[in-house]
Every structure is written in C-alpha cells, then in structure tokens.
Amino acid sequence: MLRTCLTAVRGPAVCVGRCFSSEVSGGDSTLPGFSSPPFSTEASLYVHWPYCLKRCSYCNFNKYIPRSDNQDVMLECLQRETETLLKLSQVSRITSVFFGGGTPSLARPSTIAAVLETVARHAGLSEEAEVTLEVNPTPIGSSKLEDFLHAGVNRFSIGVQSLRDDDLKVLGRDHNSQHALQTVAEARRLCPGRVSVDVMFGRPGQSVASWELELDELLSVCDDHVSLYQLTLERGTQLFRQVQKGQLSVPSDDITAVMYDSARRILQKRGYLQYEVSNFARNDAISQHNMSYWKASQYLGVGPGAHGRFVPRGEGDVCREARTQTLEPDVWLREVQQRSHGTRRRIPLTHLALLEEVLVMGLRLIDGITHQHWQLFSPRADLYQILSSSSEVQDLQQTGLLILDDRGLRCSWQGLALLDSMLPTLLLLLEAYITQGLQEQQARGPIGDQRHGGQRVSKPG
C-alpha cells in the first residue's frame, strides 16, 4: 500500500470521523448532526475484481489467489449486486465506471461487458462515460486489451510500477520492463490519449539519480496521464519482513521527499500538469472517475471489499451512508446469492463526517475547495467562518503552505507535499466549529426545520 497523500483511489475508505467507530444497520438520519448531502441523481461506480495470479511483496490490498475457476458465478454476482445498489440508490445516471482490483484484466471481457450492460439497463450510461480498467502489463493482459475495448472499456490504467527488472522482481511483480513497454504501446494504439501509467518510487535501493533517469525514460513512452505512488512498508507483507530483517533497505523520508519534488518538476517540464497529490495529466486527460471521489460525489462500490458513499433513497432515506462490502470473496459470493448484495457495513454519515471527507479529499486537488463547492455541503458555515480566525491557519498561510482567499481553500505547491501534516489541525478546527454549533442548537431547542442538523433537505430541481 502507499502513503495517505500518495494513495491510489479505488473506492476510497475515508476514515476521518468518529462515524466509523461502530457497525450499524441503517440508522436514524433524523438525529441532530446528521446531514442531507446535495441532492443528486448521479453517481460513479467502482467494481472490485479481487483475484490475482500472485501477491506482490509489498501489497496488502484486498486480493486473493483463486482456488478454482469461478468466473461464471463472479459474473452473476457482480451483475446482481450492481442491480441491487443501483435500485437502492435510485440514481438515473452513472458518470464513470472503474474496474479495479486485484487484477481485473484477469476477468473475461464478457464479464466487463455484462456489468456495463447491467448499468445501462438500470441507469443511464452515456457513450462518453469514462470506463477504466486496471491492467497488469503481462503478455496475457496485453493480449486482451482489444477485447476489453470492444466490451466497453475506453480507458486503461497500467500498473507499470518500474522499468527496472531487478526492482520488479523485488516487488514480486509478474511482468518485466519489456512486457510493460509493450502493454503501454498497445494500449496507446487502442485508446490514444486515454491511457494512464502507475509508477512507484521509494523502492528498495533506489537513489534520486536513478529515479530521475527512470522517470525520464518512462515519460518518453507514456500517454497523457501519470500516477505517482510512494512505496510504504505494510505490516504482514513480505517486503516489510525483508526490511525488518535487514535484507533490504528503503530510502529515508528525506530522500523520498526529494524524489517526489524532483518528479513533480520533471513532469511539469514534460508538459504534465499536476491536478492532484499523485496525479498528472496533459491535454486535459484527467481521471474523471477519481475526480468524483475528490469532489465528494456519490459513488457505488460493487464487489468484495468495495467501498461506497451514497444515499439509499430506495429505502426512503436522505442521509448519505458509508458502505463496505464483505471482504472475503467466497463469503461475498454466498451473501449476494442469498440476498442480492454483500453489504457488510453501512454507517450514516454525520454532518461533521461528511464535511471531513469534503475537506480531506478536496485538499488533495491543486485547485483545492472552492467556496461554491463547500457551500453545497455546508450552506450555513463557510470556510472563512470555520478557519480564518485560527492562529494555526494564519501561521500556515504566513509560511506559504496554505491559501484561504476569495477562490477558496487550497495548498500551495510546497504545501501539497505536506498535506498530511496540516490535516489534523484543519480537522480539529472543523470539529470544534461544528460541535459548538450543535451544542448551541440543542440549547436553543427546535427552531424551524432542524431534522438534519439545521440543514434543510435539498429538493430536486
């Protein structure tokens, strides 16, 4: 896995509020402090394919080595859960679809096509909607790209990670640099301008000079989108144990900070504009799907371990819920067969928890959070009211790390690399403001429509 500020967005599990401290079924969205988010009939869709042929040495994602060929039952259950969640959310349009994993390029192209047909049957899916598939750059993955294109995929995200064969072996990847280059070339031929490449830095034995040389080499063959991820050591992984035993060493935090800064400058010189902490694009080739996460839009999560954020309007609710599907594929399959979905956890988001997500995700963007966007979620308390009088925020502004002005709230170039260190301060200020408002509201007693923490339910139109 990768550090908070440089993590791949795959139906993110944003755990910034106290709302995730317990498991609930349903919830009373009429309690003070629960918030109705902006009304929307749109959502994005994340579909998780949990299987890999092998586990990489650094990986602790929710992925499994298949014990048997269960593609038919996976297809059936992915379709059933997609249909169930679309009906529950009552969205009428899916704006983007992302097939992640795991290794979704191991799925049959017919499975991808069937899921997209289910979406089109129960909600609108325009021909222009972004449909991304993560691809492992092996000969098998590369050979299926054209079939995936015919199945409805129009964007590929390729996990290159490195162009150094020795490093790929250490990471436990099942491809080599030649496979990666061939896969990128084939993807670009099929989807020109719609191919993203993932590359990892902070790898064992890597130096700043070797990283700069490798990135420059990679950019000479890349398409219009690049994602940078910093390797971190996760307990329980093979790589963690190797480093703990002294068999391998990874660059220090100071060195990886230099690597990140250097990569940002190299990408900028090559025409890639940074639009998010770990994402860079030229020719406006930003990831529309991931933008929906960073903008705190609704998204449905289908498949084992997938996360979602949406309002279950099919149950008559108006409160957004954080949902997690059952992790273990065999258990998830059984649950979907029994009750048409594998939702294991559903937690109504309080007004505070929703605003925390807007803040944490929005500050990942170069453009940050505009006042207009914040007002969609917090019509009664703007960013100035919450933050401007804080001495901590004033210090961050004076040191050039944070900007709060007429446009909104955002990090500076230097501040974006230090976002993690600023978030605790900003979250505490937000919590204090919202908590004080709730206490004052409760002291005043019920005045007007306070069903949702003082925020009226938005009506369509």
For residue range 303-334, list pLDDT tens digits in order.
999 999 999 999 998 899 999 999 999 999 99
Instruction: Answer yes or no: is pLDDT of 249 > 80.
Output: no
Average pLDDT over residues 238-246: 77
- Helix, strand, or coil here: 199? strand
pTM above 0.85, yes or no: yes
- pLDDT at site 20: 29
| Position with higher pLDDT, 186 vs 140 | 186
Cα gap 344→100, rounded to integer Å: 19
pLDDT per residue as tens digits for the range 8-20: 334 444 444 333 2
- pLDDT at site 61: 60
- pLDDT at site 453: 35
pLDDT per residue as tens digits for the range 375-405: 999 998 999 999 999 999 999 999 999 999 9
457 half-sphere exposure, CB direction, 13 A CA radius: 14
Element (H, E) at 447: none
> Computed from CA positions of residues 274, 275, 279, 280, in that sequence, does the dihedral angle turn out positive or negative?
negative
Cβ neighbours for 223, distance < 8 A, ≥ 6 positions apart: 184, 187, 188, 192, 193, 194, 195, 196, 197, 285
Cβ pair 427, 384 in contact under 8 A: no
pLDDT band at 25 (very low <50, low <70, confident <90, very high): very low
Q: What percent of the chain has pLDDT over 70?
A: 85
Cα gap 102→36, rounded to integer Å: 34
Classify residue 126 by burial, with Cβ atoms within 10 Å: 0-12, 13-18, 19+.
Answer: exposed
Compute the C-alpha angle 415/416/422, nearest 5°. Answer: 60
- pLDDT at site 443: 79
pLDDT band at 67 (very low <50, low <70, confident <90, very high): low
Could you tell me the end-to-end alpha-carbon distance of the chain, in angstroms, rounded to an integer? 42
16-30, 65-79, 172-186, 340-354: least confidently modelled range:
16-30
Cα gap 158→160, rounded to integer Å: 6
